[in-house]
Amino acid sequence: MRLDRDTFREILDSLLRNRSRSLLTGFGVFWGVFMLMLLVGGGQGLKQLLEKNFDGFAQNTCIVYPEQTSKAYKGYRKGRWWGMTETDVDRVRAMVPELEIVTPIISRWGQTAVKGENTASGSMKGVKPEYVGVETPKIRYGRYINQMDLADEKKVCVIGKRIYEQLFPEGGDPTGQRIAISGIYYTVVGVDYNEGNMSVNGRATETISVPYTTMRKAYNFGKRIGLLCVTAKPGVEMSSIIPRIRSIIQRAHSISPDDNQAVQLINTQLIFGIVDNLFKGINFLIWLIGLGTLLAGAIGVSNIMMVSVRERTVEIGIRRAIGATPRQILGQIMSESVILTVVAGMMGIVVSVGILAVVELAMTQDGVLKAAFQVPFGTAVTAALLLTVLGVLAGLMPAVRAMGIKPVDAMRDE
pLDDT of amino acid 203 = 83
* pLDDT recorded at residue 114: 94
Residue 234, burial from CB neighbour count under 10 angstroms (0-12, 13-18, 19+): exposed
DSSP-based three-state secondary structure for 79? coil
CB 363 within 8 A of CB 46: no
Rounded Cα–Cα distance for residues 9 and 17 (Å): 12
> Any residues with CB less than 8 A from the CB of 140 and at least 6 apart, and which?
161, 164, 191, 192, 193
pLDDT of residue 341: 77
pLDDT at position 119: 93
- The single-letter code of the amino acid at 235 is G
What is the pLDDT, as a whole number, of residue 254?
93
CB distance 226 to 126 below 8 Å: no
State how far the alpha carbon of 260 is from the alpha carbons of 78, 249, 320, 385, in Å. 13, 11, 84, 55
- Closest C-alpha to 265, from 281, 287, 243: 243
44 touches 287 (CB < 8 A): no
Ramachandran angles phi, psi of 32, nearest 5°: -65, -50
SS3 93: helix
pLDDT by 10s per residue, the chain, length 414: 444 555 545 555 555 455 555 565 667 777 778 888 888 888 877 777 777 766 667 778 899 999 999 999 988 899 999 999 999 999 999 999 999 999 999 999 889 999 989 999 999 999 999 999 888 889 999 999 999 999 999 999 999 999 999 999 998 999 999 999 988 999 999 999 887 666 677 788 899 999 999 999 999 998 999 999 999 998 888 889 999 999 999 999 999 999 989 999 988 878 777 878 888 888 888 888 877 877 777 777 777 767 666 666 666 666 666 666 667 766 677 777 777 777 788 888 888 888 888 887 777 766 555 667 777 777 777 777 777 777 777 777 766 666 666 655 555 555
Q: What local confidence, expressed as pLDDT, does residue 311 receive? A: 64
Name 272's Cβ contacts closer than 8 Å, sequence gap at least 6: 54, 59
CA distance 11 to 13: 5
pTM confidence score: 0.68
Q: What is the pLDDT of residue 214?
A: 94
pLDDT, residue 217, reads 92
